[in-house]
Chains A and B, each alone.
Chain A
Amino acid sequence: MSKLAEYEGPILEIDKLSISFFTRLREIPAVMDFSCVVQPGEAMGLVGESGCGKSTVALGVMQDLGVNGHIVGGSIKFKGRDLGEMSADELRGIRGNEIAMIYQEPMASLNPAMKVGRQLMEVPMIHEGISESDAYQRALEVVTDVKLPDPERILKSYPHQLSGGQQQRIVIAMALMSKPSLLILDEPTTALDVTVEAAVVDLVKDLGKKYGTSMLFISHNLGLVLETCDRICVMYSGEAVETGSIKDVFDKMQHPYTQALFRSIPLPGTDKNAHPLVAIPGNFPLPHERPPGCNFGPRCDYFREGLCDIDQRVPMADIPGDDRHRSRCLRIDEIDWNAPVAASIKTAKTEPGDVILKMDKLKKYYEVAANALFGGGGATKVVKANEELTFEARESETLAIVGESGCGKSTFAKVLMGLETATEGQILLDNKNIESTPIQKRDTKTVADVQMVFQNPFDTLNPSMTVGRQIMRALEVFGIGKTDGDRRKRMLELLDLVKLPRAFADRMPRQLSGGQKQRVGIARAFAGGARIVVADEPVSALDVSVQAAVTDLLMEIQRENKTTLLFISHDLSIVRYLSDRVMVMYLGHVVELGTTDQVFAPPYHPYTEALLSAVPIADTRVEKQHIVLEGDIPSAMNPPPGCPFQTRCRWKDQVPGGLCEKEVPPQRSMADGHQIKCHLAQDILERMEPVIKVAAE
């Protein structure tokens, strides 16, 4: 099938689109009155929290809304033709050929039982009817374009044989096979590590330019949109609330939600004590419980009764003077958009107390059988998950542990919790060795002292037990309270502590939102008066506006209880915001350790430098050095000789004699409490430039 005739004008025009899902009970409007235009070669960012309808818009463009979804109003025009009026056959000719899509989870969106090459070749074979060998040539070309090493081998592999980053490149390659005019990217990098994400984003930008493709980029990450897109559309609860060029929206935002969103993400300059984040109050309204009038009304600081809550749709209004900048607010002209943040509560910096946790040369190795099903024989392999961790944590201190997947941060947490025992070295809790005591053998006090807040609040609560019961169960285990009545009282106090209404005690976890579940998780962790709390990516599964609230809550409880917080994260922005000290890990090694200021300023370890450069920052004033790491993180089963980072390090040639490939670098002390594991000479380290520069106002 050939492409549609050359068309002058916008690639995609969405006009007053409304999409609803129909259930037996009611009609659920998912998208209302959504308009946007994508010009040729333009990249449009679609931003919003989960449930705001951004993915529904994408599926609406693809005309793939399932059995229950229907377009109930408006139109979607692609190159001037209404997609809603096309026959199934015509649509099939456009899907994958003219409009291609890149998905959130690369592993799930590739067929596990089909070789990668086949899946790629299928696209031109369907749409252009070319022969198998031509299709193979094309696949080879595109796979080379997405910078995958050894394309022929890749084409012969099954998806599970590739790493996450490689899989996403394959999905991108698949989308580009027919050189589409419009590319829809649905959270394309959410499942990837930051350095891999940076490389993939780079690739998408380059390819977009090379092929002249227009893009619809869906993301919840404002920083990412800033880096990739020309225009942005912010969505809230099914509506576009503000749209315009990146510069206008980021610097001259004209909608309270956009403003609140920016204030709730940790940008450079925010600080947990002096400039805390401002969380958006309240919860995201469910689609069938939207308020009358402005959807954002109940959570808005500028809400005015009698104006914002009249049961009438708020229209989009043009902002005069800007390029196609529009906002859905009734009070645009009345609000002083440049007013500083209303005085937020400043708190004094807490001074760290005594050392309560000490790690000394802690090592954790795993032995794994070569394969599970037909194993038995064959040599077992050793996974070196942690190599020589040495550090201390003090009372009421926040120590952040940063690193990408596979760096050993979760293994460390497991060893500390007692879910695994250490291979070598020691963990001292109040000068008592606990490294080889598994959790079953720890006394109640130790267990209650060291607690954990988990990454995914959706999986860590028992779905068939009420919230209150689960917290009381924890109290029971920790031996707190003599009677059930005592424990119930304490449980209600804990709910107060995490700012949940007491009525939640009798609710089931499924009745709670993600942020509320995470609060329950926090209450459970603090039930026994924990002194050390390991927070394993506690907010990464939550929406941006909720993240701020949960983070603040964690900080507040920590301040009151003088808890030591070990904050495991891959998100450097939030780490910078809340931690006192930072430990950067790579492949089981601690490559850098120091106070937050020391780690975020040069001299850096080369990996820290790359990590800082990779994190997208949603601030137009920030200038970043552009460092893209090649390749993937090596497997911990087969680590490179010498320095673990040598395979991807851009400074490697500055070290004479190939030392990086021979020896693991020693831990060097740069300044008081600042340690770096690197072979680079002192003067080179000192000459490093800061990665992030905030331009003067």
Chain B
Amino acid sequence: MGLFILRRTGLMLLTCLCLTFVVFFLTNLYPNLEKLAKSQGNVRMTDAQVASWLENRGYDRPMPVKYGEWLGVVPGWTYQNQDGDTLGRCVSITRDAETAPRFCGVLQGWWGQSTVFKEPVASVVGDKLGLTGRLMFWVMLLMVPSALVLGVLAGMREGSTTDRTLSTFAITTTATPEYVSGVILIAVFTSSAVGLKWFKGTATSAMDNPTFENFFLPVLTIALYGMGYIARMTRASMAEVMTAQYVRTARLKGVSFPNIVMKHALRNALIAPFTVIMLQFPWLLNGVVIVETLFNYKGFGWTLVQAAGNNDIELLLGVSVVSVIVVLVTQLISDIGYVYLNPRISVT
């Protein structure tokens, strides 16, 4: 087991390395750098000015060297400007050329400076991740149990009226994109058009002080979309298990219907949807972009959009690393959880 986790961690690091290099390569293409220079400096800069702006900030050197600097295996760049001040990658941390360390990269714990937010990447990512984490937590809390209940109720009597009603509901919610359901929910529950002013149409205040009133709608919008999907999976799995021979065995042993569902079918039926539920985490992390924008909730997805739109290289890299870790860690948990649910797969 320990070895398994170790191997998975190794795999995770390797994936991070590959992915960040790809992101690094793409964001450091010259047109992107030019765009960065113009958006950060002056839109009407001449080509010569762009070149010198890039030189001043260490963007003009070979790609592998720059990537090495970001990693922290190559000494950070320094540059002497006309005033005699020493600028450099590491100097910007301490603001003093003398005490600045020679290496400053991810390995040293420095994730770089966000060009959009003018803040260290680590603190931007940390803050926003916290906000989205809170959103995710409540979404999961609402989505998973209700989806499972929905799926099990629908699947235990395949083809019944309950099944058809619940399935229709599940398909409808999944088939409605968040930007549609979000707008409908806002229109119904917050505007004076309908008159139900139960919730707030914006979640900006929820960043500091989340309440049921300002936070419920974004949570519901995401949960509705994901719920239908999980419910469909659970239903299919449950319906299959209910026709399995061992369920017939249980029935012909004289076990009552509620006990068949609870004791014999449920655990077997949860094996398949469990993987799907774990796959929802990475989706939530990035898929919330629309909802965060819609409700003006400045979380991780919103940050990603900002970073990508402004070619904020180091912020993008940070976001990529976090995403890879979230994906792989949830998959690790999903694999381990699978072993506990399914006795046919053993750890030893």
Contact = CB atoms under 8 A, between A and B. Distances in A.
Contact of A105 (B245, B252, B263, B271): B245
B342 to A, nearest CB: 7
B263 A114 contact: yes
Contacts of B251: 64, 95
Interface in A399-422: none
Given A109-B245, A109-B246, A377-B3, A95 B339 contact: no
Interface residues of A, number: 33
Interface in B247-288: 248-256, 263-264, 267-268, 271
Contacts of B267: 113-114
A530 interface: no
B3 A376 contact: yes
Interface stretch (A96-104, A473-481, A683-691): A96-104
B44 interface: no
Given A108-B245, A376-B4, A114 B253 contact: no
Contact of B252 (A96, A374, A376): A96
Contact of B342 (A100, A113, A174): A113
A96 B254 contact: yes
A64 B255 CA distance: 13
A87 B248 CA distance: 19
Contacts of A374: 1, 3-4, 347-348
Contacts of A174: 249, 253
Contact of B344 (A100, A103, A158, A376): A158
Interface in B316-344: 335, 339, 341-344
Nearest to B341: A113
Interface string A383-400: 000000000000000000
B61 interface: no
Main secondary structure of the interface of B (DSSP, over half): helix
A160 B246 contact: no
B262 to A, nearest CB: 12
A113 B347 contact: no
A62 B252 contact: yes
A377 B256 CA distance: 46
B252 A95 contact: yes
A585 B254 CA distance: 44
A100 B254 CA distance: 10
B346 interface: yes
Nearest to B339: A373
Nearest to A127: B254
Contact of A126 (B244, B254, B268, B346): B254
Given A96-B252, A122-B253, A122-B255, A373 B245 contact: no
B7 interface: yes
Contacts of B348: 371, 374
Given A103-B245, A158-B344, A113 B253 contact: no
B335 A376 contact: no
B193 interface: no
Interface in A152-178: 158, 160, 171, 174
B194 interface: no
B249 A92 contact: no
Interface in A352-402: 371, 373-374, 376-377
Contacts of B252: 62, 64, 95-96, 100-101
A111 interface: yes
B345 interface: yes
B339 A126 contact: no
Contact of A376 (B7, B248, B264): B7
A51 interface: no
A93 interface: yes
Nearest to B344: A160
A67 B254 CA distance: 18
Interface in A92-145: 92-97, 100-101, 103, 105, 108-114, 122-123, 126-127
A171 B3 CA distance: 38
B264 A97 contact: no
Interface string A45-75: 0000000000000000010100100000000
A100 B251 CA distance: 11
A382 B271 CA distance: 31
Point out which of A101, A114, A123, A374 has the most chain B C-beta atoms below 10 A from its C-beta: A374
Point out which of B1, B248, B251, B345 has the most chain A C-beta atoms below 10 A from its C-beta: B248
B259 to A, nearest CB: 8
Contacts of A158: 343-344
Contacts of B339: 373
Contacts of A110: 246, 249
Contacts of A95: 251-254
A241 B79 CA distance: 101
Contacts of A112: 246, 268, 342-344
Point out which of B246, B250, B341 has the most chain A C-beta atoms below 10 A from its C-beta: B246
A109 B271 CA distance: 18
Contact of A123 (B4, B253, B345): B253
Contacts of A373: 4, 335, 339, 345, 347
Nearest to A174: B253
Given A110-B246, A371-B348, A374-B3, 7 more contacts: A100-B252, A112-B343, A114-B263, A122-B255, A374-B1, A374-B348, A376-B7
Contacts of B343: 112-113, 158, 160
A432 B255 CA distance: 63
Contacts of B253: 95-96, 100, 122-123, 126, 174
A100 B248 CA distance: 12
Interface string B92-123: 00000000000000000000000000000000
Nearest to B158: A67
Given A158-B343, A160-B343, A371-B346, A111 B254 contact: no
A108 B246 contact: yes
Contacts of A114: 263-264, 267
B255 A126 contact: yes
Contacts of B246: 108-112
Contacts of A122: 250, 253, 255, 263
Interface in A171-212: 171, 174
19 contacts: A64-B251, A64-B252, A67-B159, A92-B256, A94-B254, A95-B251, A95-B252, A96-B252, A108-B245, A109-B246, A109-B248, A111-B249, A122-B250, A123-B253, A126-B254, A126-B256, A158-B343, A374-B3, A374-B4
Nearest to A110: B246
A108 B240 CA distance: 13
Contacts of A171: 249
A94 B255 CA distance: 11
Nearest to A373: B345
A314 B146 CA distance: 58
Nearest to B256: A92
Nearest to A115: B343
Contacts of B341: 113
A113 B268 contact: yes
A111 B267 CA distance: 10
Contacts of A105: 245
B269 to A, nearest CB: 10
B337 to A, nearest CB: 13
Contacts of B245: 103, 105, 108-109
Contacts of B335: 373
Contacts of B263: 114, 122
A63 to B, nearest CB: 10
Contacts of B264: 111, 114
A675 B229 CA distance: 64
Given A110-B246, A112-B343, A114-B264, A92 B3 contact: no
A174 B252 CA distance: 11
Closest 4 pairs (CB-CB, A-B): A96-B253, A96-B254, A108-B245, A95-B254
Contacts of A97: 254
A114 B250 CA distance: 12
Point out which of B3, B268, B343, B348 has the most chain A C-beta atoms below 10 A from its C-beta: B343
Contact of B249 (A109, A127, A371): A109
